[in-house]
Copies of this chain bind each other. A is one copy, B any other.
Amino acid sequence: MKQAIVLRRDLQMGKGKAAAQAAHAACEAVLSIIRSNNSEWSRWLDSWLSQGQKKVVLRVESEGELNRVYEEARAAGLPASMIEDAGLTQLPPGTKTAVAVGPAPAELVDKITGKLKLY
């Protein structure tokens, strides 16, 4: 099991900003599972938690690429979150910054994010 967190590098976010967006995306994907009552997703979550919550942080270079990751994850039936920044600092309101895919079986996550580079 793993969770992939995908950040836009083209936004040139500061380190703290990037970390906050990653945390938003990761938590939101986990919460979406808890809210979903999807029993398969719940099993994935429990399994991922018991294995130490493996996370990998990856990068894309555009909003289009970020959208592509999110849409492919949803189409594949995986839990996923899309984060838009409130725009109080650094970025215009509504800027899409981050996506999390999973927790889900690693091979399913890799089908969508496997070609992305580390952030």
Where chain A touches its partner, the secondary structure class is: helix
The 9 closest A-B pairs by CB, nearest first: A23-B26, A19-B22, A16-B119, A16-B57, A19-B19, A23-B23, A19-B57, A20-B55, A22-B23
Given A26-B23, A52-B86, the answer on whether A15 and B16 have CB atoms closer than 8 Å is: no
Query: How many chain A residues have a CB neighbour from B under 8 Å?
Result: 30
Smallest CB–CB gap between A115 and chain B, Å? 16
Tell me the number of copies of this protein: 2
Which chain B residue shows the least CB distance to A22? B19
- Contact check: which of B7, B26, B58 meets A26 at CB < 8 Å? B26
Listed in ascending order, the chain A residues whose CB lies under 8 Å from chain B are: 5, 7, 15-28, 30-31, 34, 49, 52-53, 55-59, 86, 118-119
